[in-house]
Structure 1
Amino acid sequence: MEKNLADFLASFSAAIDLAQQQRFQSPDRERLRDAISRHLGCPAQDVPIVAETIPFHRFADLDIALERLAAADPDNVLIGMGGGQQRRHLTLSDVVQEDGYSNVPVGQPDYVNVPIGPGESREALALGIRLFRHRGIPVAVMQRNGDPQTGSPDASIAVMAADRSAAAAVLAAVQEDLRTNSVLRGQVVSLGFDPYGQNGAGVTFLSRPLLPISEVILPDGVLERVRSHVIGIAGHRSQLKAAGQHLKRGVLLYGPPGTGKTHTVRHLLSETPGTTAVLLSGGSLGAVSHAAKLARAMAPSLVVLEDIDLIAEDRSMGHGPQPLLFEVLDALDGLDADADVSFIMTTNRVDVLERALAQRPGRVDLAVEIPLPDAADRARLLELYAPAGTFSAAALAQVAEQTEGATASFARELVRRAVLAAAEAGEDPGDAQLLGAAESLSGQREALTRSLLGAGPEAEGQEPAGPDAAGGFATGPRAGFGWSPLPHAGLG
């Protein structure tokens, strides 16, 4: 009985293999294996294959590098793999061996649009084989983009050449191109993973904010300290390197929600044109290792980790080991001393930060509090948000005195409500609307609104608002950093 079952299973498996081969056969198309063999000048099944994985955020760079490499041979040819969806799961080794999928026909290459800048994209080769000569030797290179459905969001290349050293030379040439050229250099990008997206993982290019120092309202000396550590050190990189001093630095911005931590980061990005910036927040914090490697390769760079407390909560509080925290620590420790890379972290809850992150030199060497604005700064914020000449200086000063504990977010909403109230009444906005908006937002019936906008619930004995609810209102949508083409002024 057992022998009969074994024979049946063996026959069934053979029938499936035969059916798969027959399904790929096409009487009017050349087999992919034969096309590769003809180009290489020898049976493809006897040729070694050298493969390498490329991080998902370098896929566009890989496509450009291979296109440039193949273009050096004027007789280069690009072919695809025939068949249905099954081809997405086949490797170059699968299609050149005697058994299995050797009947896969030549087909059309697959393409996908990938971003290469804000509002700019490139049609890249998603699955195809380039046949060309490198240094006079025929090579075949399969290029494939990442596909989370097959278990990997990263891109890959596989190279065949009768001489394995020739295949290794192709990979070396690609890596050299990746080291010296990149569409990411000098850009502001966010790395992310979306299991439901078309490509699963990728790069989002963001427009660099334009935010002058005049539109950042902070207590005297606060912004200057941050600028000196991030921008000032970068300006002296040659002298520091000559003296054997390290360039990498970690900055922690902490304070209540809505006081302007993210706004301060926007200003730093505005003041560092040409610097590569990688922004991580929420779920994308899981890409911190990728971000650190990218920052090292593209230096000078900034790596921004928003709401770092989400992954760096003190382990003594009973939450146990946190893998993402260890990745952050490794990223901070793994940078070379001469790497011109700044890690900028923000948090609303400095009290729960892991001590290994906050107290070890070389990880965070500058911690700066972004506090609630005082009365003078609240008046400056109101004046900044208000259309010029709309409200009197006396009204601005009165409202600033009445809104103790309010954040920049709250001040911005005050002006918006005053203008809206005037529009609804068919009037020009003035002091009456501003005072009325302040009274309305300060009322007991607006307690929830005041909490969300960071107006300071301490007056009612409440707990502070949750993580950065106000900051989200002030700086745009919380998906990533929510950078928009329009500047958000004054959220100091």
Structure 2
Amino acid sequence: MTDSSERVAAPDVNAWLGALEPSARAALVALGELLAGAPRTAGPENAEQFTARCLRVASAASLVDENRELNPVARLTVPLTLAELIETHSGRCEVGPGERALAPMWTQTSVGDVRFRHPMCLRVHFPAGTVLESADCVVHVEARETVMRTAQVSVFVRPEHQELARGVLDRLQERGSALNPYRGRVVRALYDGGLRLEAFDLPAGLTRSNVIVPDAVWTEMDLGVASVRDHHARLKALALGTRRGVLLCGPPGTGKSAVCAVVAREVAGDFTVIYVEARAGVAVLSDVVEEAQRIGGPVLLVLEDVDLWCLARRAGGMGLSELLQAMDIGSDARILTVASTNDATTMDRAAIRTGRFDSVVEVGFPDAVQAGRILSALLQDVPGGDGVDVAAVAAALPASTSGSDLREIVRRAVLVAGDTTVSTGQLLSEVGSGRYQARPPAGGMYL
């Protein structure tokens, strides 16, 4: 028992109750009324009462509720559509609670640098002549997905209007697709218990002029882009399939990720670019592909370092089945999938076949000519860079020198030079030292 001297009387019971969670507040009020023997006074109108009043029935139990679950992207696009309808019919529609007698819930979602305001949980009454020409309806949106609730959109109508309710749901989803704020953007597909898309910016400064790879790489990438962007209708009419997949393979640091970034930057706007992180690839790659089809227009899917999560079945590849299933969805979809791997031999043979990954392109170590071009690009803005004999430096390089190695050679030379200009001799010294390559020591175990 707590000593009575420690108890503090609440100066304002209503204020104290108002600070509680809604469910706790309702329970305490009901308990107080029960103990006091006081008759229950009419409280605020709850969601069911709102729906029944708007549709002019005695109880919501006599209505029909047509509903559909909302996938992760529809949890934004359908509420955006509903917000648009509320604004369009602001003089005629009425917004009510979405849950019990709680106030309508609105929220804001940022996609890149754009902030969207939309409902989270509410009901709205659209009288005849607005959403439906000849009937009233009440639309309920619940955009929160938790263990206890499912994200969904519902349309309440009188039983004789049930078919019309299905049409409302169709139009909400179609308009939501048109309003999709992710279309034409560069986004990352993440997995945190379900699929989530997040807009992000690509690395600046990467172009074909400074990402030096074999011409065959750009030729294959251009073929894939043209396939889904320019020749979709023709290939579909010929029943040849339009979806394409390109697998870039080669040692670390040779420019595979840079190639993906260059192509993504070139096509963004015309394409929706979706980078799929490893956890999402393992768990929900099929969902990503299905969402890509709903977005509409051409889509570039980027699966970097796919070998980290999709090994051959003999190696127990945890993401193989998800990859194979996803690559078989929508052969006529306007989707170009570009994946990268350090070692194509770790990939299952079932993945590397026409119709999934149609071509495997090697991005190997640069030869002397390519190394010289890479050095010229890296030295373009470096003080003294225009005086460096890039051919001499390229000739001194070991055979297995990657583009990232060359970047580190130049960076070390700049750091060593300090406030002075970089010279051919400094670059040759860095090449000779071998310190630009992060290699483990040759010694044994340290204690």
TM above 0.5: yes
- 1:417-439 CA distance string (max 9 Å, x none): 2222222xx32333344334334
How many Å apart are 1:47 and its aligned residue?
Answer: 1.6
TM-score, with normalisation over the residues of structure 1?
A: 0.73
**Deviation at residue 31 of structure 1 after TM alignment:** 3.2
**1:208: Cα distance to partner?**
5.6
Give the distance between the partners of 1:31 and 1:232, measured in 2 at CA: 54
Aligned-pair CA distance for 1:48: 2.3
Once residues 26 and 142 of structure 1 are traced to their aligned partners in structure 2, the CA distance between those partners, rounded to angstroms, is 27
The equivalent residue for 2:287 is 290
Cα 1:225–1:36 change in 2 (3 A) is closer
Partner of 1:484: none
The 1:138–1:410 alpha-carbon spacing in structure 2 relative to 1, beyond 3 Å, is same
User: How much has 1:226 moved relative to structure 2?
Assistant: 2.5
Say which of 294, 308, 311 aligns to 2:309: 311
Partners of 1:407 and 1:26 lie apart in 2 by 78
For 2:430, the equivalent position in structure 1 comes to 437
Aligned residue for 2:97? 80
Quick one: structure 1 residues 314 and 20, their matched pair in 2 at CA, closer, same or farther if it must change by over 3 Å?
farther
Match of 2:279, as an amino acid?
A: G
Where does structure 1 lack aligned partners over 5 or more consecutive residues? 1-15, 82-86, 88-103, 452-456, 461-492
Offset at 1:364?
1.2
Higher share of residues assigned helix:
1
C-alpha distance in 2, partners of 1:266/1:127? 38
Contact 2:189 2:274 in 1 (8 A): yes
Query: Which runs of structure 2 are paired with 1:51-450 in the superposition (5 Å)?
Result: 51-73=67-89, 74-81=91-98, 104-105=100-101, 107-116=102-111, 118-133=112-127, 134-135=131-132, 136-150=134-148, 155-163=151-159, 164-194=162-192, 202-207=196-201, 211-231=206-226, 234-272=229-267, 273-285=269-281, 286-297=283-294, 298-317=296-315, 319=316, 322=318, 324-337=319-332, 339-358=333-352, 360-388=353-381, 390-391=384-385, 395-404=389-398, 405-423=400-418, 426-440=419-433, 442-443=434-435, 449-450=438-439
Shift of 1:28: 5.4
Q: Distance in 2 between matches of 1:178 and 1:292?
A: 18
- The residue identity in structure 1 corresponding to 2:328 is D
Q: Which amino acid aligns with 1:170?
A: V
* CA-to-aligned-CA distance 1:36-88 (integer Å, 9 cap, x gap): 2111111112222222112112322111212233445332122335xxxxx6x
State the Cα deviation string for residues 113-133 of structure 1 (Å, max 9, x = none). Answer: 2233x2212122222222222
Greater Cα offset, 365-374 or 389-398: 389-398
Which residue does the alignment assign to 2:18? none
User: Matched residue of 1:229: which SS?
Assistant: helix
2:183 counterpart SS class: coil
How many aligned residue pairs are there? 397
Shift in alpha-carbon separation, 1:169–1:220, aligned structure 2, 3 A: closer
Distance 2:230 2:307 in 1: 30
Kept after mapping to 1: 8 A contact 2:389/2:424: yes
SS in 1 for 2:412: helix
Counterpart of 1:22 in structure 2: which amino acid? A
Query: What's the counterpart of residue 92 of structure 1?
Result: none
Correspondence for 1:10: none
Residue 395 of structure 1 contacts residue 435 of structure 1 at CA under 8 Å; is this kept in 2? no
Q: Which residue identity does 1:301 align to in structure 2?
A: V
Task: Write the letter of the residue equivalent to 1:438.
Answer: V
Determine if the alignment matches structure 1 residue 34 to structure 2 residue 49: yes
Read off the aligned partner of 1:260 and give its amino acid letter.
Answer: G
Which whole-Å CA distance do the structure 1 matches of 2:31 and 2:370 have between them?
A: 73
- Following the alignment from structure 2 to structure 1, what is the Cα–Cα distance between the partners of residues 249 and 302? 13
- CA contact under 8 A between 2:396 and 2:428: conserved in structure 1? no
Q: Deviations over 1:436-462 (max 9, x none)?
A: 43344x04xx66x257xxxxx9xx8xx
Instruction: Give per-residue Cα distances to partners, 1:12-47, cap 9 Å, x unaligned.
Output: xxxx9x948938988652333322211111111222
Deviation per CA, 1:167-218: give whole Å up to 9, x if none: 22221221222344422222221121336xxxx7532113366643212201
TM-score normalised to the size of structure 2?
A: 0.80
Letter in 1 for 2:30: Q
What's the CA shift for 1:259? 0.9
Structure 2 CA distance for partners of 1:402 and 1:336, relative to 1, 3 Å: same
Letter in 2 for 1:363: R
Structure 2 unmatched ranges of 5 or more: 1-23, 33-39, 443-447
The separation in 1 between residues aligned to 2:149 and 2:342, in whole angstroms, is: 36
Corresponding residue SS for 2:297? coil
Q: Aligned partner of 1:379: which letter?
A: G
| Displacement after TM superposition at 1:261 (Å) | 0.9
Cα drift, residue 371 of structure 1: 0.6
Equivalent position amino acid for 1:309 in 2: D
What CA distance in whole angstroms lies between the structure 2 residues aligned with 1:57 and 1:140? 23
